[in-house]
Amino acid sequence: MNAENRERGTGNGEPGGYPPQAGGGNGATADSWVPGARPGGATSGVVENSTFEYLLRLADDRLVLGHRLSEWCGHAPILEEDIALANIALDLIGQASALLKLAGEIEGKGRTDDALAYFRDAIEFRNAQLVELPNGDFAATIVRQFLFDAWDVLLLERLTAATNESVAGISAKALKEARYHLRHSAEWVRMLGDGTAESHARAQRALDELWPYTHELFLVDATDREAVAAGIGVDTETLRLAWRETVDRVLREATLTRPKDGFAPRGGRTGRHTEHLGRMLADMQSLARAHPGATW
Amino acid sequence: MNDKNPTAAAGAPDTARRAPADDPALVAEFEARIAAGESIEPKDWMPERYRKQLIRMMSQHAHSEIVGMLPEGNWITRAPSLRRKMVLLAKVQDEAGHGLYIYCGTETLGIDREELVDQLLAGTAKYSSIFNYPTLTWADVGVIGWFVDGAAIVNQTMLAKASFGPYARAMVRICKEENFHKKQGYESVATLAAGTPEQKAMVQDAVNRWWWPSLMMFGPSDKDSPNSAELMRWRVKRESNDTLRQRFVDLTVPQARAVGLTLPDPDLRFDEASENWLFGEIDWKEFHDVISGNGPCNRERLAARRKAHEDGSWVRAAAEAYGAKRQAADAA
Amino acid sequence: MTKDTAASTAAPDRAPADTQWGLWEVFTQEGEGAPHEHAGSVHATTAEHAMQNARDVYARRGKVVSLWVVPTASIIASVPSDAGPMFDPGNDKAYRHPQFYKVPRGVRGL
């Protein structure tokens, strides 16, 4: 139990960890710090809370990535791409909204999708760090999108078999969208990798910088395991091989080199984000928070 | 001549289209076709001036859609609810699409989109004055949907019957999509007007700032508009600026009253005889300042478009290079 | 441009062009059994990209079941001055019209 607590608390294997708990060290978890979490923390193995946590992970990936993509609107390299990126952003935000609604219902405290999106702090978000990184140039945006899409398709294929009907339904629709997203991002990876010397250099640089953040996509912790046991989650470690195959194939076609594994940042799944997320949310949430309780 | 685009290539001998003075017989036949309500297609003979006017008008319209993405795009990342975020993103995406439809229609007249983009970025092409105003609050987004898309619908409904086929067809497509924009804008305005005191003040302030610029969107009175008469004769423009402006006012005033908002015009009054809402004097000096480059945001709008274009240069070049390689591989 | 030691090279022998890409015409089929109709055009440098752009621009509202994209330069169009010889209905040629054929009264299904 303690080992699981530590794992969930920090993601780094340190006991207790940040933020410090009123009761002191052992048994502290990120959950018990989070407003709205059940008293006594989530380490009691209560399935609803794990489900809630797990759904936030799914939802927050999409919300944050959709938001990042939406930042391109009006600034893309060519008109057709303004339209394409907006499409993907819309799909992702739509998926996030559906998942957040479901998460709120399961939490049972009356939090709507908007309440969850606009009134949680960065430390309460559960997205992987990969998706919160700033867009960078077009190569970085596309490479990040490709690495995510290749994973997302595999994840959603499994989630369509979830025993929770809502999760299965949302996933089935999202899978169609994700397949199209992958088609788009993979083609761009090829175009940039096998385009000009400049585009190739930018794509390779983006790949080298983003690669470390892909490892978090395949981490499995107690929350994941409980979600799998409850029939609504996926053991993403089992997706790694298929993901590598897809990625290797496209990189080869793109004449890009797969970076070596090494540095593997993590923590997003338990609220330990990069500094980028806080700034992104400051932008995203500012108006809603300036008028709490207002209807839009 | 654009050899990428055979629809633009003259079916008739080159000399007919390049002659300094158009053959009077051909002109007469052309004008008879127009008068009979026929549709002019890209490969039909047309006076060189018709072709030039259409390129100017259509490209200005397309530029407006593209630049128009910026004032509303300014609020996408701060949209205060997920639904509003998605609706706004979809709307701005539609605007990109509308620009694209119209650029494609313009290209049928024998000009490359590259050239059109260059004209916009060089500052030599015009676009609608309204997009040179800043969106200072979230309420501006709703008001733009209500006023600006509302005005655009009045204009575009007329253009859906324009004499030039590709323009009319693009307009039909756009009109179908535009209705959702205006409705969403008005719905947002209504929600704010019925909301907290801060929200109500926000939307009234936005209305106060956007009303007069929206009236100016229709352009000067036709007696002051040099192109109007010719465009009317050629059925590209079907109704006068003043007529369209009046129609917009008559539609919009009741809508404002319905949600308890006032319009910033002390002279606004209903005239029983004509059943029109008569309105005060427009400050045409402001209009001319804005269209000549000295509005609040002209420089920012062009700077944003230039940056997107320059930053995107290597991306476009990459796609070109990739395409060339694929073609070479296929040919081999 | 950065020096690149990997396999990819710029398009041979000339600086990479920066254009708005080539023009493609798009045809959409809205519903099974319907004809493909011209919807407009998109810019792209490959057929795959043209297809994706066409889908994003003309088919994202979901009523389209099939898409064709064709490089604009591949379209051969009739010329307006051909209209007379090519398209004028043969009003003087009665045998193209059903009324030419006399059939017994009361025969159904014709």
pLDDT score at A11: 39
Angle (deg, nearest 10), helices B113-122 and B82-107: 110
Q: Band the pLDDT of A32: cuts 50, 70, 90.
A: very low
pLDDT score at C3: 40
Across chain A, mean pLDDT equals 88
Q: Band the pLDDT of A1: cuts 50, 70, 90.
A: very low
Side chain identity at residue C39, one-letter code: A
User: Hey, which chains touch C, using 3+ CB pairs under 8 Å?
Assistant: A, B
The bridge status of strand B276-278 relative to strand C66-71 is unpaired
Confidence check: pLDDT of A8 > 60: no
Nearest chain B alpha carbon to A90: B86
C32 CA: distance to closest CA in chain A (Å)? 20
Tokens at residue B45, please?
């003979």
Q: Does C46 touch chain B (CB under 8 A)?
A: yes
CB A223 within 8 A of CB A269: yes
Could B316 and C19 be called an inter-chain contact, meaning their C-beta atoms sit closer than 8 Å? Answer: yes
Could A294 and B80 be called an inter-chain contact, meaning their C-beta atoms sit closer than 8 Å? Answer: yes
The secondary structure of chain C in percent helix, strand, coil, rounded to multiples of 5, reads 25, 20, 55
Of B77, B99, B191, which is closest to A71 when you measure between CB atoms? B77
Structural domains of chain A, count: 1
Q: Band the pLDDT of B225: cuts 50, 70, 90.
A: confident
This model of the complex carries an ipTM of: 0.91
Tokens at residue B276, please?
């029109």
CB A190 within 8 A of CB A253: yes
* Residue B319, helix vs strand vs coil: helix
Least confident residue range of A3-17, A78-92, A142-156, C85-99? A3-17
Confidence check: pLDDT of A89 > 50: yes
* Residues B303-322 pLDDT 10s: 999 999 999 999 999 999 99
pLDDT score at A41: 38
Probe site for chain C from A91, A181, A196 (most C CB atoms < 10 A): A196
* Residue C23, helix vs strand vs coil: strand
Least confident residue range of A272-276, B180-184, C51-55? B180-184
Least confident residue range of A30-39, A51-60, B205-214? A30-39
pLDDT score at C95: 63
Q: Assess if residue A12 is contained within a domain.
A: no
Probe site for chain A from C2, C4, C8 (most A CB atoms < 10 A): C8
Across chain B, mean pLDDT equals 91
Percent of chain A residues past pLDDT 70, beyond the cut: 84
* Residues B273-300 pLDDT 10s: 999 999 999 999 999 999 899 999 999 9
Position with higher pLDDT, B62 vs C63:
B62
Confidence check: pLDDT of A14 > 60: no
CA-nearest of B218, B51, B201 to B148 is B218
Percent of chain B residues past pLDDT 90, beyond the cut: 81
pLDDT score at C97: 60
Confidence check: pLDDT of A235 > 70: yes
Could A83 and C20 be called an inter-chain contact, meaning their C-beta atoms sit closer than 8 Å? Answer: no
Tokens at residue B123, please?
């500052």
Confidence check: pLDDT of A2 > 80: no
Could B304 and A75 be called an inter-chain contact, meaning their C-beta atoms sit closer than 8 Å? Answer: yes
Counted across chains B and C, CB pairs separated by less than 8 A come out at: 92
Confidence check: pLDDT of B330 > 90: no
Chain A, residues 122-181, CB within 8 A of chain B, namely: 137-138
Of A78, A79, A200, which is closest to C8 when you measure between CB atoms? A200
* Residues A124-176 pLDDT 10s: 999 999 999 999 999 999 999 999 999 999 999 999 999 999 999 999 999 99
Q: Assess if residue A247 is contained within a domain.
A: yes
- Find the mean pLDDT for residues A232-238: 96
pLDDT score at C62: 75
Burial string for A180-194 (b: 16+ CB within 10 Å, else e) reads bbbbbbbbbbbbbbb
* Residues C27-84 pLDDT 10s: 999 998 999 999 999 999 999 999 999 999 999 887 899 999 999 999 988 887 776 6
Of C10, C16, C72, which is closest to B4 when you measure between CB atoms? C72
pLDDT score at C84: 67
Could B319 and A195 be called an inter-chain contact, meaning their C-beta atoms sit closer than 8 Å? Answer: yes
Read off the CATH number of the domain in which A270 is found. Answer: 1.20.1260.10
Could B313 and C18 be called an inter-chain contact, meaning their C-beta atoms sit closer than 8 Å? Answer: yes
User: Hey, which chains touch A, using 3+ CB pairs under 8 Å?
Assistant: B, C
pLDDT score at C110: 63
Q: Band the pLDDT of C90: cuts 50, 70, 90.
A: low
Strands laid side by side in the C22-29 sheet: C36-44, C22-29, C66-71
pLDDT score at C109: 64
Q: Band the pLDDT of B229: cuts 50, 70, 90.
A: confident
CA-nearest of B223, C97, B78 to A289 is B78
Q: Band the pLDDT of A17: cuts 50, 70, 90.
A: very low
Q: Assess if residue A44 is contained within a domain.
A: no
pLDDT score at A249: 98
* Residues C5-22 pLDDT 10s: 444 444 444 455 678 899
- Domain boundaries, position A213: 49-290
- Find the mean pLDDT for residues B142-168: 93
Q: Assess if residue A243 is contained within a domain.
A: yes
Q: Assess if residue A3 is contained within a domain.
A: no
CB A100 within 8 A of CB A117: yes
Q: Assess if residue A241 is contained within a domain.
A: yes
Counted across chains A and B, CB pairs separated by less than 8 A come out at: 139
Question: DSSP secondary structure string, B175-240?
Answer: HHHHHHHHHHHHHHHHHHHTS-HHHHHHHHHHHHHHHHHHHHTT-S-GGG-TTHHHHHHTTSS-S-
Least confident residue range of A33-42, A44-53, B218-227? A33-42
Q: Assess if residue A150 is contained within a domain.
A: yes
Percent of chain A residues past pLDDT 90, beyond the cut: 83
Could C56 and A195 be called an inter-chain contact, meaning their C-beta atoms sit closer than 8 Å? Answer: no
pLDDT score at B222: 81
The bridge status of strand C66-71 relative to strand C36-44 is unpaired
Nearest chain B alpha carbon to C10: B321
pTM > 0.90: yes or no? no
Would you give the distance in Å from CA B61 to the centre of its chain?
Answer: 4
Of C18, C75, C77, which is closest to B317 when you measure between CB atoms? C18
φ, ψ of residue B271 in degrees (nearest 5): -100, 110
Q: Band the pLDDT of A44: cuts 50, 70, 90.
A: very low
Q: Assess if residue A16 is contained within a domain.
A: no
* Residues A122-135 pLDDT 10s: 999 999 999 999 99
